[in-house]
Amino acid sequence: SYELTQPPSVSVSPGQTASITCSGPKLGEKYISWYQKKPGQSPLLVISHDTKRPSGIPERFSGSNSGNAATLTISGTQPMDEADYYCQAWDSGALVFGGGTKLTVL
Amino acid sequence: LQLQESGPGLVKPSETLSLTCNVSGDFITSSGYFWGWIRQPPGKGLEWIGSLYYSDNTDYSPSLKSRVTISVDTSKNQFSLMLTSATAADTAVYYCARQVTGPTDPFDVWGPGTMITVSS
């Protein structure tokens, strides 16, 4: 089965740029979405189809995808961005989530 | 559009876990929408369970396929999840969510989630 690999944790200082990666074989040939998950809340879609920001998502969130890796970039990271982030793709009839990355803003 | 999960909260091992997702603000039969179930065990990541289109097109996670059935009740504008032979490993927060144009699409609207504990 297809697997998406994310780093368990990423740390960033407020105002700096955070990059969270998601890797998998030929990932650039698939569409990637990214979700933000805070404790006690439902997941929030922040990036769809590699680069699209849904309505209401701040411009500081952006995405890219090529080769074997996708990246979620948060520019000017704010304390409110501290959360778990999950990538998601579809492969061979199954929807797959990455293991998640805990973003710490400190 | 709003989604709301409902379920028993506690399920005994070996029994069937049954959940319902009530859809309000739009019709479950609206063209192109798929409806899915996702879960998150305590301290773990998100896991896709399955997705369906109202006219009987369903896709299931390979790891759960033998135990899962997702169905729709268009008259009540809701869809349901049944997971047989429940074990402690099925303890999780269960979410229902919408996919806009197909099972390959992301989930853009989510319910608040419901905690299900499998224990005797």
Residue A7: per-residue pLDDT: 98
- What pLDDT score was predicted for residue B54? 72
Tell me what pLDDT residue B3 has.
97
Helix (H, G, I), strand (E, B) or coil at A80: helix
Cα torsion through A48, A54, A58, A64, rounded to 10? 20
Cα B85 from Cα B82, distance rounded (Å):
10
- Give the per-residue pLDDT at B119: 96
Are A42 and B95 within 8 A, CB to CB? Answer: yes
Question: Looking at the DSSP assignment, which residues form a beta bridge with residue B36?
Answer: B51, B97
CB contact under 8 A, A33 and B62: no
pLDDT at B73: 92
Q: Does A88 touch chain B (CB under 8 A)?
A: yes
The H-assigned helical ranges of A1-106 are none
Angle at A32 between CA A78 and CA A36, to 5 degrees: 30
Q: Report the 10 Å Cβ neighbour count for B91.
A: 18
* Binary contact (B45, A35; C-beta < 8 A): no
pLDDT in tens, chain B (120 residues): 999 999 999 999 999 999 999 999 998 887 788 999 999 999 999 999 999 987 778 999 999 999 999 999 999 999 999 999 999 999 999 999 999 888 889 999 999 999 999 999
Tokens (6 digits) for A70: 């996708």
Q: Of A49, A94, A98, which has the smallest distance from its Cβ to B62's Cβ?
A: A94
Whether residue B105 lies within 8 A of chain A, CB to CB, comes out as yes
- What's the confidence (pLDDT) of residue B29? 85
Task: Please state, in angstroms and rounded to a whole number, the distance separating the CA atoms of residues A84 and B47.
Answer: 14
Spell out which residues of chain A touch residue B63, defining contact as CB-CB under 8 Å. 1
The minimal CB distance from B61 to the residues A44, A45, A94 is found for A94
| Chain segment A87-100, per-residue pLDDT in tens | 999 999 899 999 99
Q: What is the pLDDT of residues A23-50, one digit of tens each?
A: 999 999 999 999 999 999 999 999 999 9
pLDDT at residue B103, as a whole number: 82
